[in-house]
Amino acid sequence: MELVRLPDAEGRIAAEGALPYPPGVLCVVPGEIWGGAVLRYFSALEEGINLLPGFAPELQGVYIEEHDGRKQVWCYVIKPRDAQSTLLKGEKL
């Protein structure tokens, strides 16, 4: 596994489930590819956290770290080498 910034997770395999609360429903499950609406949703939450003081949704399965005065969302993904044997031909890492 490796910890990557949210934008770098696109097309990668999630190592953990990720959910915001509310609503408390998994948006990505382990083994699913990060991308599409889920990636945009968590990116919007990251933007809200940075733009609106006091906006702090409870997030599980993703991690907030501050770099250069900006909070960033990070998540664990499967390293390509670990996933290589389980991928179907044509899937993107």
pLDDT the model gives residue 88 = 56
Kindly report the pTM of this predicted structure. 0.81
Domain ranges of the chain: 2-83
CB burial string 16-25: b at 16+ within 10 A, e below: bebbbeeeee
| Mean local confidence (pLDDT), 76-82 | 83
**Is residue 59 a contact partner of residue 18, using CB atoms and an 8 Å limit?**
yes
**Is residue 15 a contact partner of residue 24, using CB atoms and an 8 Å limit?**
no
Report pLDDT digits (tens) over 22-60: 888 999 999 999 999 999 999 999 999 999 988 989 999
**Is residue 71 a contact partner of residue 53, using CB atoms and an 8 Å limit?**
no
Selected from 3.40.50.1240, 3.30.559.10, 3.90.100.10, 3.40.50.720, the CATH number assigned to the domain covering 2-83 reads 3.90.100.10
**Is residue 57 a contact partner of residue 21, using CB atoms and an 8 Å limit?**
yes
